[in-house]
Structure 1
Amino acid sequence: MSDVRVIIHRDSEREERVVTTGTTAAELFAGERTIVAARVAGELKDLAYAVADGEEIEPVEISSKDGLDILRHSTAHVMAQAVQELFPEAKLGIGPPVKDGFYYDFDVEKPFTPDDLKAIEKKMQEIQKRGQKFSRRVVTDEEARDELSAEPYKLELIGLKGSASHDDGADVEVGAGELTIYDNLDAKTGDLCWKDLCRGPHLPTTRVIPAFKLMRNAAAYWRGSEKNPMLQRIYGTAWPSKDELKAHLDFLAEAEKRDHRRLGSELDLFSVPEQIGSGLAVFHPKGGIIRRVMEDYSRRRHEEEGYEFVYTPHATKGKLFETSGHLDWYADGMYPPMQLDEGVDYYLKPMNCPMHNLIFDARGRSYRELPLRLFEFGTVYRYEKSGVVHGLTRARGFTQDDAHIYCTREQMAEELDRTLTFVLDLLRDYGLNDFYLELSTKDPEKFVGSDEAWEEATETLRKVAEKQGLELVADPGGAAFYGPKISVQARDAIGRTWQMSTIQLDFNLPERFDLQYTSADGSRQQPVMIHRALFGSIERFFAVLLEHYAGAFPAWLAPVQAVGIPIGDAHVEYLQEFAAEAKKKGLRVEVDASSDRMQKKIRNQQRMKVPFMIIVGDEDMAAGTVSFRYRDGSQENGIPRDQALAKLVDVVERRVQV
């Protein structure tokens, strides 16, 4: 046997090692139990891979992104084997890793039940303990078709080999180039236990799977198309340790408590009536108060920043979206046209920018007017498939806090810097403080305008983003068709990331609309256009704040800022007088004059997450005082009425959480 030299990379370290021919990656990293695969020349390989002379090899830890994907994809195979052992008639779809877990699709006669999922999970545990070996085989198309002749969906995937167009998880199964099957082999005898079409890589054995749990099942169309059969999808999660699995399940439990749809119902804030339609919400009085306060504060801050408010209609002739390019690039996200005039198509607007361009172009503009900052709370309509509609966070009708800024080329960098600073400061005012930025660049298959304009726009945005001193993450190909963008990503109270504001630099729509202004030398020039949505949408931002605060809004946003709790009927009038004084100061204060006992009233207001309870008994009435009860159950007694009112006003005006 001859020697081969390999180079092992670990972060910034580089080690050269001499091994014998046929040495595998598993032998190379023997004893390192957290390593589950190897990266060779940029490609992920199983640990069974035999290293070759001169190769550069990087170990893949199970806790890395690639390692987690391999763990979860391997667990998906174990789940599929368990399903077919329990339900032999089940036909296999696809089983890719996804964020925090995995799924596998099955064609079965009837949907899985919760009891079925328990049985499948128990069978998975048995398979995991058997320590079955994941073994890779290269096969021809004909061999794969012969071996998987009983699996119609796998046969379809074989026909997709090498296709770059599918993004539905099929690439996990086939990929490009050679076709491979993974066998699950008995640890003792080497006999075949199960097999699947897959490009891998996988863990060495099922025993390497540390912790997993099945979560739920749902219906899903094969390869995401409504034209295809409906399959049953089982979701699961897998982690490098039992502690990490428990932490994830605890996180999910907390997220469920904070679900804005659940809180919206419990706190009587909003609903999505079936009679109106999916993705179309109505706000109830208390939700309406929160929304109004959010909008009023935003409106005031925009006016201070030099924005001018405009209003545009909900529908327009299709010609406008032909000019903007949306009918070429965005038609799938728009509602079908309406025939309102003979031969003329009208569309519900999916965005406000084309109409703002018409406002700019309604009369001649001078350089002295620039930058011109137009702002609108504009309701738009986008056709989202029913499967992705989700409460207020993914809706079909919503209101954007939409701004479009028109400026000169010379003003561009300063205006972008000013806009991003304004956006971040305003988000902080609402209680979000943990941010990073994302720079979305040109999709080479979907853009308008010149490469030079895109490059200038992208580099300008990059410099503006870097000035904020925040982490900047690349999003290659993620820009809209008309220009690159910066997205503000905010982490909430439990660490989830939400895309908030977007700032897009656009040289193209001004050209398509032939927008011009008169420059200082009298020449006609084209303005630069900045698209900016601060909340993204009012509804979505409402949902984010509702989940961030778990319904316990700071007093300035709370629909009811304080509730008077009388110890007895004799104290109701005193509290009503206090509430009347508070309302004159702009506070939202109510009195619970119901026949419930005091402790029940307190429990009711705790459930409604009211910031303050104002409790009054005989001693308070005699002394002209009140008692404060806070959300955490603590209490402050004997506060003079004028001081209590001043305290409420101060907390509201400073926008602090209590």
Structure 2
Amino acid sequence: MSQPSPVSAVPASRVVVPAGTTAGQALRDAGAPNRGPQAVVVVRDPQGRLRDLSWAPEVDTEVEPVAADSEDGRAVIRHSCAHVLAQAVQDLFPEAKLGIGPPVKDGFYYDFDVDRPFTPEDLQALEKRMKQIIKGAQRFSRRVVDSVKAAREELAAEPYKLELVDLKSDAADVDTSEVMEVGGGELTIYDNLDPRSGERIWGDLCRGPHVPTTKYIPAFKLMRTAAAYWRGSEKNPQLQRIYGTAWESAEALENHLELLAEAERRDHRRLGTELDLFSFPDEIGSGLPVFHPKGGIVRRVMEDYSRRRHEEAGYEFVYSPHITKGSLFETSGHLDWYREGMFPAMHLDAELDEEGNVRKPGQDYYLKPMNCPFHNLIFRSRGRSYRELPLRLFEFGSVYRYEKSGVVHGLTRVRGMTQDDAHIYCTQEQVQDELKSLLTFVLDLLRDYGLDDFYLELSTRNEEKYVGSDEVWESATAALREAAEASGLQLVPDPGGAAFYGPKISVQAKDALGRTWQMSTIQLDFNMPERFGLEYTAADGSRKRPVKIHRALFGSIERFFGVLTEHYAGAFPAWLAPEQVVGIPIADEHVEHLQQVAKALRARRIRVDIDLSDDRMQKKIRNHTMQKVPFLLLAGGKDVEAGAVSFRFRDGSQLNGVPVDRAVDAISQWVRRRENASPTAKNFRVEES
């Protein structure tokens, strides 16, 4: 297929496709680009469905061009690249049977049933073959299969595809990635055709859509392999999965690979070891971290500042045990709706007679996965008046969740964690003001830790997993939506993402690499006060139910620690850094001078140490720079004589001959202001005494 020269740099916002004309022809007539990052790869019809450029509507239809550099455009490129990968695998491994190959975030994968795992050498050979296929400009051609029977006959040699065809009759059993294969109302196969002869070279069961030809896949790379169970179930055969990524341009691919490399350099698990912050001893178990002294300092400072802010905002501190009778979680509903996420019960308290017969039956105890039921009991412990509301209870509460071993990941997905958990009990009239105030409090505190790029997500009811009436859910969802919209931040829907007891707003924060992390959550709950029989005395003397708001600010201390470690690449702001200042004497006779400086800094509550090792000065500087210490204070003969020190910063810049009193003032002021930037010779201000 020849490529006409582009006439426009940007796709038109809308194009009318005349009846019987292909979308591709209408785009060419409109001068839409067909090369480069903004090449149109598919169109969106009035119903929001993506269509191939070979699609020809029966009536005049206005469509929206979808460019390669849009999210939908990239997804189409990646799915098409997955087909090219599958074709290459069956070229080089003819015995390979096909699983599925959907696009995923930033890439794609395809599952194969092969005799042995793929090797790095196999990936190199597959990339080479894929480049040949792409260069051949094979055309993606959609073909409707007349019946399930005809599909079964054509796919007789592909057992996994046959299973998907059979599943088509029961759409409830087909997940999102499988829908990419079997589609909605009809079965379709995409054939790869030779551009000159039109001969079919390869094909795959698929809903589509796809790019017009393989030439529209300008940049890709195979990333890694992994084992994966067919359809995600350990009861099914284990397949070999190949992950790849594809982009609209070589530059976009290069930027993505550099981002991945930087993310690897910032990986909190690696930095945790290098900076001696935390570890995961095998003797303790998966997902159960221990914090070392340096990590303990960072965590303590994080928690102390959070406590201070909560005190200023009118929260009251409570504490609850790590374990409870199962009846508490029966009342809350967790045993009905969250049992799989809890550690198994411990059966205790049974009493036996001398013959071993049960005299008093035991009962089940559980490690708590949530703090909220305990706070309900605190509220219910005595009568409450409307004058006490809103009552804001706060706890750094340790909880335990049985995450599957394949899901556990460093500090960001653990089995034992400490939540900065708050529950606010208020009247119906106070809800809206409290939600808005909460959202402001949450965002301001996250900004204090250096995160400032946010959007909000509104998670609504999971129709298969909820308690309470439709009216209550509608009211709660509307209240959260109003508060979220009032913040002025972008609000993104998350259908079905709510907890079983109520809808929630989650704050999504972007880190220094532009990656999004779910941070704080605010959940509105009309149901649990009902289940626990919570009441307060209203102004007219009547008994009323409070509304409950669940709020976790960090989510968990462990996860927030991991996120901040990666956000700052281990170079924590000076106010959080485990070692804020290290003194480096040029010779032994300069130690006493630095000891006096350290004494003055400690009087200002600055964490300071002096390197008295036998290492040479340059090695000391390198060692502590690698440990991300924000302030290195050097002292030689001239500094001692002048009553001064010289600063060395993380970026290698230096300030020489700063009088000690001014140096101490400048460091303490920088820390007291909680500056989140890394100090340098350019931004570190040393004021006159």
Same fold flag (TM > 0.5): yes
Give the CA deviation at 1:585: 2.1
Task: Measure how far apart 1:573 and its partner are.
Answer: 2.7
Please state if 1:458 is matched with 2:466: no
- 1:183 corresponds in structure 2 to 191
Is 1:383 aligned with 2:402?
A: yes
Match of 1:237, SS state, is strand
Question: How far 1:146 moved relative to its partner?
Answer: 1.8
- Post-superposition Cα deviations, 1:417-469, rounded to whole Å, max 9, x if no partner, equal 11111111111111111111122222233222122222222222222222222
Q: Distance in 1 between matches of 2:566 and 2:217?
A: 33
Q: Which residue of 2 aligns with 1:3?
A: none
2:125 pairs with 1:119: yes
**d(CA) in 2 for partners of 1:168, 1:608:** 45
Q: 1 CA distance for matches of 2:667 and 2:66? A: 56
Of 330, 333, 347, which aligns to 1:325?
333
Per-residue Cα deviation, 1:18-45 (whole angstroms, up to 9, x for no partner): x4x6422221212531122222333222
Residue 467 of structure 1 aligns with which residue? 486
**2:586 & 2:464 partners in 1: Cα distance?**
69
C-alpha displacement of 1:15 = 5.8
Partner of 1:312: 320
Q: CA deviation at 1:631?
A: 1.4
Stretch moving more, 48-57 or 503-512: 48-57
1:618 equivalent in structure 2:
637
Does residue 368 of the first structure (1) align with residue 387 of the second (2)? yes
Q: For 2:59 and 2:435, how far apart are their aligned partners in 1? A: 52
C-alpha contact (below 8 Å) 2:82/2:108 kept by paired residues: yes
Task: Name the residue aligned to 2:109.
Answer: 103
Q: Counterpart in 2 of 1:45?
A: 51
Deviates more, 1:541-550 or 1:169-178: 169-178
Q: In 2 relative to 1, CA 316–168 (structure 1 residues): closer, same or farther, beyond 3 Å?
A: farther
Contact 1:562-1:589 at 8 Å conserved across structures: yes
Preserved contact between residue 521 and residue 555 of structure 2 (Cα < 8 Å): yes
Equivalences for 1:482-521 in 2 at 5 Å? Answer: 482-521=501-540
Query: Corresponding residue for 2:165?
Result: 158
Pairing 1:50-449 to 2, within 5 Å after superposition? 50-139=56-145, 140-162=147-169, 163-167=171-175, 169-342=177-350, 343-449=362-468
Distance 1:274 1:138 in 2: 54
Change (3 A) 1:12 1:319: farther
By how many angstroms is 1:301 displaced? Answer: 0.9
Tell me whether 556-565 or 465-474 shows the greater mean CA deviation.
Answer: 465-474
Question: Structure 2: any 5+ residue segments left out of the alignment?
Answer: 1-9, 351-361, 680-689
- Distance (Å, rounded) in 2 between the aligned partners of 1:444 and 1:625: 68
C-alpha separation between the residues in 1 aligned to 2:165 and 2:72? 25
Q: Which amino acid aligns with 2:328?
A: L
1:330-361, Cα deviation, whole Å (9 max, x unpaired): 11211121112334111111111011101111
2:29 maps to 1:36: no
Does the 8 Å CA contact 2:98/2:158 hold for their aligned counterparts?
A: yes
Indicate how the Cα distance of structure 1 residues 15 and 137 shifts in structure 2: closer, same or farther if over 3 A, else same: closer
Which stretch has the larger CA shift, 238-247 or 452-461? 452-461
Could you tell me which amino acid in structure 1 is paired with residue 254 of structure 2? K
What SS does the corresponding residue of 2:244 show, helix, strand or coil? Answer: strand
Structure 1 alignment gaps of length 5 or more:
1-9
Q: 1:168 to 1:219 in 2, by over 3 A?
A: farther
Aligned residue number for residue 5 of structure 1: none
Q: Distance in 1 between matches of 2:576 and 2:42?
A: 50
Partner of 1:551: 570
Deviates more, 1:450-459 or 1:518-527: 450-459
Check the 8 A contact 2:461/2:497 in 1, yes or no: yes
1:255-281, CA deviations, whole angstroms, 9 ceiling, x for partnerless residues?
111111111111111111222222111
Tell me, yes or no, if the aligned pair for 1:400 and 1:533 is still in contact at 8 Å: yes
Structure 1 equivalent of residue 594 of structure 2? 575
Deviation at 1:14, TM superposition (A): 5.6
**1:196 is paired with a residue of what secondary structure?**
strand
CA offset at residue 195 of structure 1?
1.5
Q: 1:497 & 1:153 partners in 2: Cα distance? A: 35
Matched-pair contact (CA < 8 Å) for 1:269–1:286: yes
Q: Does 1:531 align with 2:528?
A: no
Which amino acid is the alignment partner of residue 141 of structure 1?
V
SS in 2 for 1:104: strand
- The CA distance in 1 between the partners of 2:589 and 2:102, in whole Å, is 66
Residue range with higher mean Cα deviation, 599-608 or 473-482: 473-482
Given that 1:168 and 1:224 are in contact with CA atoms closer than 8 Å, whether structure 2 keeps it comes out as: no
Amino acid corresponding to residue 147 of structure 1 in structure 2: E
Alignment partners' CA distance in 2, 1:177 and 1:462: 34
Change (3 A) 1:256 1:409: same
Which residue identity lines up with residue 250 of structure 1 in the other structure? E
Map of 2:358 onto structure 1: none
Cα distance in 1 between the residues matched to 2:150 and 2:409: 43
Matched-pair contact (CA < 8 Å) for 2:15–2:63: no
Q: Secondary structure at the match of 2:477?
A: helix
SS where residue 417 of structure 2 aligns? strand
How many angstroms does 1:83 deviate by? 1.0
Counterpart amino acid of 1:232? Q
Separation in structure 2 between the aligned mates of residue 358 and residue 12 of structure 1, nearest angstrom: 60
Deviation (angstroms), 1:508? 0.6
Does the 8 Å CA contact 1:161/1:177 hold for their aligned counterparts?
A: no
Deviation at 1:615, TM superposition (A): 0.3
User: Which one of 23, 26, 41 corresponds to residue 25 of structure 1?
Assistant: 23
C-alpha RMSD over aligned residues: 1.7
Aligned pair partner of 2:627 in 586, 605, 608? 608
Cα deviation for residue 251 of structure 1 reads 1.1
Matched-pair contact (CA < 8 Å) for 1:44–1:201: yes
1:649 alignment partner, one of 668, 671, 677: 668
Q: 3-state DSSP class of the match of 1:95?
A: coil
Distance 1:570 1:453, change over 3 A: same
Deviation, structure 1 residue 109: 1.9
Counterpart of 1:142 in structure 2: which amino acid?
K
SS in 2 for 1:89: coil
Aligned counterpart for 2:646 among listed residues 605, 627, 635:
627
C-alpha distance in 2 between matches for 1:551 and 1:317 = 41
One-letter amino acid of the structure 2 residue matched with residue 597 of structure 1 = R
More displaced 10-residue stretch of structure 1: 527-536 or 202-211: 202-211
**Amino acid corresponding to residue 38 of structure 1 in structure 2:** V
Contact 1:75 1:209 (C-alpha < 8 Å) held by counterparts: yes
The alpha carbon displacement at 1:152 in A equals 1.6
Do the aligned partners of 1:441 and 1:476 also contact (CA within 8 Å) in 2? Answer: yes
Alpha-carbon separation, structure 2, partners of 1:67 and 1:13: 15
Q: Which stretches of structure 1, 4 residues or more, deviate above 3 A after TM superposition?
A: 10-17
Q: Distance in 2 between matches of 1:590 and 1:89?
A: 64
Q: What is the CA–CA distance in structure 2 between the aligned matches of 1:400 and 1:308, rounded to whole Å?
A: 16
Superposition TM-score, scaled by structure 2 size = 0.91
1:58 Cα offset (Å): 2.7
1:145 maps to a residue whose letter is: R
How far apart are 1:11 and its partner, in Å? 9.8
Q: Could you tell me which amino acid in structure 1 is paired with residue 27 of structure 2?
A: F
**Contact kept in structure 1, 2:597 and 2:660, CA below 8 Å:** yes
The question of whether the paired residues in 1 share the 8 Å contact of 2:127 and 2:222 is answered with yes
Amino acid at match of 1:123: R
